[in-house]
Amino acid sequence: MSDHDLFPNGWEPTTRYPDPAVQSIDPAFDAYRLPLAGVERLATGMRWSEGPVWFGDARHLLWSDIPNNRIMRWNEETGQVSEFRSPSNFANGHTRDRQGRLVSCEHGGRRITRTEYDGTITTLMDSFEGKRLNSPNDIIVKSNGTIWFSDPVFGILGNYEGYKSAPEIGQNVYCLDPETGDAIVVADDILGPNGLCFSPDESILYIVESRGVPTRKILAYDVGKDGHTLSNKRVLIDAGSGTPDGMRCDVDGNLWCGWGMGDPDLDGVMIFAPDGKPIGRIALPERCANLCFGGRANSRLFMAASQSVYALYVNVAGVQGG
């Protein structure tokens, strides 16, 4: 069944279970599907949805609507959608630190920020060795509190998702200690670093190479015993005609990756086993840029997809912190 069959006139909630939009490519994915759960659309009307992050204590989801320069909020209890912050300085990716605070990538400010408990915003990093960052994109927090983020140039290429400007520095991946303000480059050889996440035991860091030649790739690195040195760079997944973007790991080590662009039959989420084998797919009528786990048991997948945000209950929990 193609996406054209699933979505002939745009998206509508499934009228039957199991939802045909949730597809097993390999029998290994069957264990992660819930036969009585379907894809739901929580919100629509954005220009470009990105960076979802779950706040279980507040029972809400936040995400970026980058071109509209705002952060949106969906309330789990009421289903209401509202603006959380506008303007947002063209915020993109978000996560939470180990103290529960919002940590964000901003294209407009070319910086990493933390929203304090009282709502004030602290700049954690906006330059490296005297040069401005490009446009921080995706972000995760390790169990030791360090903040890891990618810094491609996408947000300064024009005035749609930030402010057009010339880059001053390479497209790097950084590890930042928010307590000391010290930062190091952990990877400087990736063509367009984008989404990133750790394996459940944090021994592997996955990074999307979104300008890979000839195809986009998901790279894997071993994380050294010092907690930040990367080695053994390898291609875990060659995306072929697909477009991986943001991704997260579940507790079994599977990668859930936003996917799409070009062929509409690729739009949605791809799920890969730890060895890189594709095992499942969630078809959506829009390209999925990024996703996160949340909900009561951290087993509800929230998908930021172009103009909308979708959700699906799955039979596995996501890894905390990315």
Q: How far apart are CA 312 and CA 192, in angstroms?
A: 29
Q: Is 161 annotated as a binding residue?
A: no
pLDDT at residue 202, rounded to an integer: 97
pLDDT at residue 12, rounded to an integer: 87
Q: Is 137 annotated as a binding residue?
A: yes
pLDDT at residue 265, rounded to an integer: 87
Q: Is 298 annotated as a binding residue?
A: no
Residue written as token pair 């994380």: 223
How many residues would you count in the chain?
322
From the candidates 245, 250, 265, 275, which is the catalytic residue? 245
Q: Which of 134, 139, 163, 164 is nearest to 151 (CA)?
A: 134
Alpha carbon distances (Å) from 36 to 14, 31, 279, 299, 314: 11, 13, 20, 14, 10
On the question of pLDDT at 43 being above 90, the answer is yes
Q: Is 315 annotated as a binding residue?
A: no
pLDDT tens digits, one per residue of 190-215: 999 999 999 999 999 999 999 999 99
pLDDT tens digits, one per residue of 236-257: 999 999 999 999 999 999 999 9
Would you call 315 helix, strand, or coil by DSSP?
coil
DSSP-assigned letters across all residues of 111-149? EEEEE-TTS-EEEEESEETTEE------EEE-TTS-EEE
On the question of pLDDT at 57 being above 70, the answer is yes
The average confidence (pLDDT) of the chain is 96
pLDDT tens digits, one per residue of 224-235: 999 999 999 999
How sure is the predictor about 176, in pLDDT bands with cuts at 50, 70 and 90? very high
pLDDT at residue 7, rounded to an integer: 78
- Domains of the chain (ranges; CATH) run 3-313 (2.120.10.30)
Q: What is the mean pLDDT of residues 108-127?
A: 98
Catalytic site includes residue 245: yes
Q: For Cα atoms 181, 69, 308, give the angle at the middle one, nearest 5 degrees.
A: 110
Question: Judging by beta carbons within 10 Å of its beta carbon (0-12, 13-18, 19+), is residue 154 exposed, middle or buried?
Answer: buried
Amino acid at the residue 200? P
Q: How far apart are CA 67 and CA 140, in angstroms?
A: 22
On the question of pLDDT at 60 being above 90, the answer is yes
Q: What is the mean pLDDT of residues 148-165?
A: 98
pLDDT tens digits, one per residue of 126-144: 999 999 999 999 999 999 9
On the question of pLDDT at 10 being above 80, the answer is no
